Amino acid sequence: MDYTDNTPNASRLLDSLRSSGYDNYSAICDIIDNAFDANADIVKVTIGETGSLGKEHIISISDNGEGMDETVLDQAMRLGSLTDRQADNLGKYGMGLITGSISMGRRLTVITKNSGRYLTAIQDLDEVADKNQFIKTVREANKIETARFDELLGGAESGTIVTIQKIDNLQNKQINSFQAKLIKDCGQIYRYFINSNKHIYINGKEVRAIDPMYLDDPRTEVFLDAQEEIKDDEGKQTNIRMRVVALPKLSDAESRQEGFNIVNQGIYLLRNNREITKGESFGIFSKHNDYNRFRAEIFVSSDLDRKIGINFRKEGNKLSDDVRSWIERQVIPQLKTIRENAKRDQKNKTEKIDHGGSSRVISAKSSILKKPRIDQENTTPALEGANSDVFTNVSFEVESNTRLAPLFQYEVKGKNIKVNYNNDHPFYQQVFAEARDNPNLTNAIDFVIYSATLALIDITSTREREHLQDEWIDRFSDNLRALLS
């Protein structure tokens, strides 16, 4: 068979990879992964500005790992490098250095020291585009580069500095804000490395481990810590571990401050002790406020990469059937318990809310309230025979429905209006539960709902408009739910 060269268009391929979905923080973390794979125990990230007007950004990631010789450096500057990988490495496809750096900037410079020898490699996308070839420079480091290495790494015996320039895709140009998020992300992603005496510094500030499981808090309940042997793609038995916790019970305000919410609830997947996904449901359960205290960690090795659907950006979100089945068996019973506890706690909170005070105020102010005008010849069956007295005899009751049901419904019964609150709606759970010890605020909310009910009765009292009643309440409740979720 005759073969012909099928080299891809260099410029277009790299431009395509620049749009592969990396965010800046993930790209930097991919380069930090390389540092830890090189056995570094110190990694320094610097984000700054250069140029006479300070408008050119520059990012550097330096580490005191093993450094690279010329052969390894040459491979590291390629897409899909052929450098040796161990089972516990964080790297996967040899793509992280190139794809991570070019996703942010158009020029990559690597200075490395190994066995006393300083080397420099440079890849400039403008030069690649000009020649439309995968080209780079690999050479001995000059005096300026050697001095920069010694300045950043304090004369370390080995190590590497990755510098990204010509940055044209910085997603947050406010350096302080960028730095703050990167510190938080790294603290959580590398929490087990930091707790094993690895050190990460970002613009000189040391990153502290952040544990989304709150395991150091004595109020955290560990529901499960289980392990299982699962076959990898080669048929070899490989360990998978899951830990399920219920976070501490906090006040509503404290829970919001700590991020105990729908976004952060769920499963945190760690590959070789490095977090790759957070707050996932994997389609095993539907996220709900009842699960805000539920968090789980799953620990896997790189042997299970295909089983968790990991891609070159180290995202895993497609579980194999056997992995999903095992996770479901562990998680579903724990979710049931956590939800039952949440409903009981919520019931205890909302049972203390007294709506009687607002009913009494409404009755006392009956004479100054504007009541609905009912046309008895064209009114709905529910309002036949209703007079103005009906609209000031009001009671507020609470019942459990579902989170997706309306916040309230009303019904006219004899000479009374009954407003039925749904205590599963986020507004009732968050606002009423927090206001339960503030009767003035509770009454004020009741007055808003009562006033809306009177206006709604007035507008929809005819047979032609009766259908608008449920539509208005649904839209009102849906918008509140969306704003509070």
Q: Are residues 18 and 49 in the same domain?
A: yes
Q: Are residues 234 and 189 in the same domain?
A: no
**Looking at 138-147, 184-193, 213-222, 342-351, which range is the least confident one?**
342-351
Q: Are residues 334 and 365 in the same domain?
A: no
Tell me what the mean pLDDT of segment 442-468 comes to: 86
User: What CATH number is given to the structural domain containing 185?
Assistant: 3.30.565.10
In a domain, 21, yes or no: yes
Q: What is the pLDDT of residue 188?
A: 98
Q: Are residues 70 and 46 in the same domain?
A: yes
Nearest-10 crossing angle of helices 356-364, 439-459: 60
Q: What is the pLDDT of residue 457?
A: 84
Q: Are residues 337 and 363 in the same domain?
A: no
Report the C-alpha gap between 242 and 136 in whole angstroms.
Answer: 44
Q: Is the pLDDT of residue 317 over 80?
A: no
pLDDT in tens, 51-84: 655 578 999 999 999 999 999 999 888 876 555 5
Contact indicator for 175, 27 with CB cutoff of 8 Å: no
Q: What is the pLDDT of residue 366?
A: 83
Q: Are residues 47 and 113 in the same domain?
A: yes
Based on the number of CB atoms within 10 Å of its own CB, is 279 exposed (0-12), middle (13-18) or buried (19 or more)? Answer: middle
Q: What is the pLDDT of residue 1?
A: 63
In a domain, 214, yes or no: no
In a domain, 213, yes or no: no
Q: What is the pLDDT of residue 5?
A: 63
pLDDT in tens, 222-272: 999 999 998 887 888 999 999 999 999 998 789 889 999 999 999 999 999
In a domain, 252, yes or no: yes
In a domain, 480, yes or no: yes
In a domain, 211, yes or no: no
- Distant-in-sequence contacts of 133-142, Cβ < 8 A, 24+ apart: 133/10, 134/10, 134/78, 134/79, 136/77, 138/70, 138/73, 138/74, 138/77, 141/111
Higher-pLDDT residue of 13 and 274 is 274
Instruction: Please give the angle made by the CA atoms of 407, 409 and 415, to the nearest 5 degrees.
Output: 145
pLDDT in tens, 384-393: 666 666 677 8
Q: Are residues 170 and 281 in the same domain?
A: no
Question: At which of 298, 315, 349 does a domain end?
Answer: 349
Q: Are residues 94 and 195 in the same domain?
A: yes
Q: Are residues 335 and 420 in the same domain?
A: no
Question: At which of 349, 376, 393 does a domain end?
Answer: 349
In a domain, 4, yes or no: no
Tell me what the mean pLDDT of segment 436-446 comes to: 87
User: What CATH number is given to the structural domain containing 235?
Assistant: 3.30.230
Contact indicator for 308, 318 with CB cutoff of 8 Å: yes
Q: Are residues 186 and 317 in the same domain?
A: no
Q: Are residues 39 and 171 in the same domain?
A: yes
Residue 156 one-letter amino acid: A
Q: Are residues 329 and 358 in the same domain?
A: no
**Looking at 169-183, 191-205, 303-317, 436-450, which range is the least confident one?**
303-317
In a domain, 66, yes or no: yes
- Count the domains in the chain: 3
Report the C-alpha gap between 390 and 155 in whole angstroms.
Answer: 86
Tell me what the mean pLDDT of segment 99-128 comes to: 92
Q: Is the pLDDT of residue 9 over 80?
A: no
Mean of the per-residue pLDDT values of the chain: 86
The residue assigned the tokens 């250069």 is: 50
Q: What is the pLDDT of residue 93?
A: 47
Neighbours of 316 (CB within 10 A): 23
Q: Which range marks the domain in which residue 257 is found?
A: 221-349
Question: At which of 179, 206, 233 does a domain end?
Answer: 206
